[in-house]
Structure 1
């Protein structure tokens, strides 16, 4: 079985990738946080995989289907020795062509909030057949045109969206505090590269900084600063490991005034300097 070392297809000119992972390749590729440049679907047929998607830790198990959307940070912590995953990925250019937001507006929020959903065995078999079709096409060297690939992508998206809409996965209601935390995380994801002030996010939520801090601590056990830092550090780690940007360029991209300030911030949360992290294995 060949390794899926090209699963990080989104830095290449491939429109899509389709492969079976029986060797832990996903974990080798995403063993440190990376930002997803395209859209990736995983179908678990056996075993387990511990993964962080943005700020949330998840366990992928047999009969789970996973949707990882663009701009999402992914970090695979562990794959069990018997883990078997089918993977289908589409690049960002293709996603732009289908207008992802308009195509999924009825269930996009559900895909973001609940990236992993369990399937009934018979539904897993249906997705498995479709994934296998794409995998076989890829291995045969077939080069379908972009319209056909876009149709493939929409078929998978609408299939997953239909499951969300027809199960109780999306029916959970949030209390006021949980809704504040949910919206806070959405705002942090949008603004973390420029803003790290608790007051800034409190203003967006139309509540006081104290109210925000108290609510977040009660719901999550963390501070607002902790949540902001988690995403900032995740982005920094991804750039240090997967790009050729200088440490100074990374510092500026995250709105740090200079490399010294960035270095102290990074070391506070990771225990090592940016240079040490970049050189670590």
Structure 2
């Protein structure tokens, strides 16, 4: 394999991955047997997805971290995540897949959307209480009914219900994160800066490495960008950039047959040596050591 696969909603629709759809914006099914040929290799999907597991089991990787998806758990996907399914056994799921374009139509406050994004990155797979399962199933079946209906108000009804569904998922995540003592208050004035920074970061998939590059694109000084990002997320902008670069590098080292020099050039490093020093400074291993570990 020469690169990380990119999977679109249209590709899933063409493979009849789901039973119900709204144009190319929403795909949804209830009690779907999972096609284990999907996501066999590290892949990205340009969509938000909430996948509720009814039965069976799957071993998955999200950004190279391992998780188990089984009955009573939910997996969340945000567009820049790299996902892979290592094994799958009799998996039955309720997938709810929402395009990035449709997310922009929802009535969700910016701060809540950012917090949902950060929560989904922190806890991509989590267990559900019985009461939450009961409510989420109602959302799935109600959305299914709307998508199958002939009403002329389908778009508006879908926007409203999807907004409500995501707030419910966010509510569950907030409780989960409180259990981990992770949730903290953040100043609202940093919301726009952080949102714009993450959008820019996700455009380049690890091919830009400098804080000054992103600061110029956003018309900020590097110090201002870094301090606002840290104030909002608890991490500096440089830490976010390095995480993005290293995730791309690790994925290519483990899951492609590209040489280390080819990976260095794909990630826009001037030389293999420069890439090696950057990688070792952050991970403690050389690219070769990581590849063979």
Task: Indicate the TM-score class for this superposition, using the shorter chain for normalisation.
Answer: 0.5 to 0.7
Shift of 1:256: 4.9
Alignment deviations for residues 129-155 of structure 1 (CA, whole Å, 9 cap, x no partner): 221232344456778543332222222
Which residue in 2 is equivalent to 1:17?
A: 27
Q: 1:77 to 1:135 in 2, by over 3 A?
A: farther
Number of residue pairs the alignment of both structures matches: 218
1:91 equivalent to 2:99? Answer yes
Shift of 1:18: 0.5
Which residue in 1 is equivalent to 2:195?
A: none
Which residue in 2 is equivalent to 1:55?
A: 64
Alignment deviations for residues 119-178 of structure 1 (CA, whole Å, 9 cap, x no partner): 12232122122212323444567785433322222222111111123345553359xxxx
When the two structures are superposed, what TM-score results if normalisation uses the length of structure 2? 0.57
Shift of 1:194: 2.0
Within 5 Å, which residues of 2 pair with 1:66-215? 66-81=75-90, 83-98=91-106, 101-138=110-147, 145-167=154-176, 170-172=179-181, 192-195=206-209
Secondary structure of 1:193's aligned partner? coil
The whole-number CA distance in structure 1 between the counterparts of 2:104 and 2:253 is 26
Alignment deviations for residues 198-244 of structure 1 (CA, whole Å, 9 cap, x no partner): xxxxx979xxxxxxxxxxxxxxxxxxx9995542353799999xxxx
> Would the aligned equivalents of 1:40 and 1:67 in 2 still touch at CA under 8 Å?
yes
The whole-number CA distance in structure 2 between the counterparts of 1:68 and 1:156 is 15
The whole-number CA distance in structure 2 between the counterparts of 1:38 and 1:239 is 24
Shift of 1:58: 0.7
The whole-number CA distance in structure 2 between the counterparts of 1:103 and 1:227 is 23
Shift of 1:114: 0.6
Q: 1:111 to 1:13 in 2, by over 3 A?
A: same
The whole-number CA distance in structure 2 between the counterparts of 1:145 and 1:250 is 46
Alignment deviations for residues 178-210 of structure 1 (CA, whole Å, 9 cap, x no partner): xxxxxxxx9x978722239xxxxxx979xxxxx
1:254 equivalent to 2:263? Answer no
Q: 1:28 to 1:96 in 2, by over 3 A?
A: same
> Would the aligned equivalents of 2:73 and 2:125 in 1 still touch at CA under 8 Å?
yes
For structure 1, the residue ranges without an aligned partner over 5 or more in a row are 175-185, 197-202, 206-224, 241-248, 272-281
When the two structures are superposed, what TM-score results if normalisation uses the length of structure 1? 0.59
